[in-house]
């Protein structure tokens, strides 16, 4: 998974200046167009609609680099940070993610720091962090035996606990704890 993340970061560092895209929500689609249209520099027209038509040429001329990057991007779904209600409404969208419930309290300094990190720095690909309100989610706290805010619980598609821990500050820290 770390190799895929490294490949994605390298591709992002190369493509981001070319695509003028800076948001995590649109990074994946923006990355696939420039990677496939970057090689044939002969066509420097700004029309995005031409990039897909030219995509067969770069695939033939640079299959190892362009295809591996595209495959890495397809293998790791974009990371997500969302509220529990949003997650419940769209669970199927996160079937390919490691899903971690983050029991967050607005008054908790550690929770605030983690929230700021996830909001500003984003969430690693392949990870969905689901923010659960510690003060109101009594049933979920009972289900997972949560007695302390700033607790993380990795769950499977059926909501079964896979791992539980405290103390993570960043998306990378959270991802490192997942099974």
Q: What is the pLDDT of residues 55-86, one digit of tens each?
A: 444 444 444 444 444 444 456 789 999 999 99
Residues 6+ apart with CB under 8 A from 162: 154, 155, 156, 178, 179
Domain boundaries, the chain: 2-75, 80-177
Average pLDDT over residues 79-100: 95
Q: Please check whether the domain covering 80-177 is classified as CATH 3.40.30.10.
A: yes
Mean pLDDT, rounded, of the chain: 73
Smallest CA-to-CA distance from 123 within 77, 155, 163 is with 77
Band (26; pLDDT cuts 50, 70, 90):
very low
Using DSSP, how many helices (H) and how many strands (E) does the chain show? Answer: 9, 5
Please write the tens of the pLDDT for every residue from 127-152: 999 999 999 999 999 999 999 999 99
H/E run at residue 19: helix 2-19
């Amino acid at each position: 998974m770390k190799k895929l993340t490294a490949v994605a970061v390298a591709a992002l560092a190369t493509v981001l200046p070319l695509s003028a895209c800076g948001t995590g929500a649109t990074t994946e689609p923006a990355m696939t167009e420039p990677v496939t249209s970057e090689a044939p520099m002969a066509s420097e027209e700004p029309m995005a609609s031409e990039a897909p038509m030219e995509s067969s040429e770069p695939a033939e001329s640079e299959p190892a680099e362009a295809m591996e990057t595209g495959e890495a991007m397809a293998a790791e779904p974009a990371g997500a940070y969302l509220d529990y209600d949003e997650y419940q409404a769209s669970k199927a969208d996160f079937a390919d993610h490691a899903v971690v419930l983050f029991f967050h309290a607005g008054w908790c300094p550690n929770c605030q720091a983690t929230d700021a990190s996830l909001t500003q720095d984003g969430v690693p690909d392949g990870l969905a962090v689901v923010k659960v309100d510690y003060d109101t989610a009594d049933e979920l706290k009972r289900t997972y035996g949560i007695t302390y805010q700033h607790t993380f619980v990795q769950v499977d598609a059926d909501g079964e606990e896979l791992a539980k821990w405290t103390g993570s500050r960043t998306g990378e820290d959270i991802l490192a704890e997942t099974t």
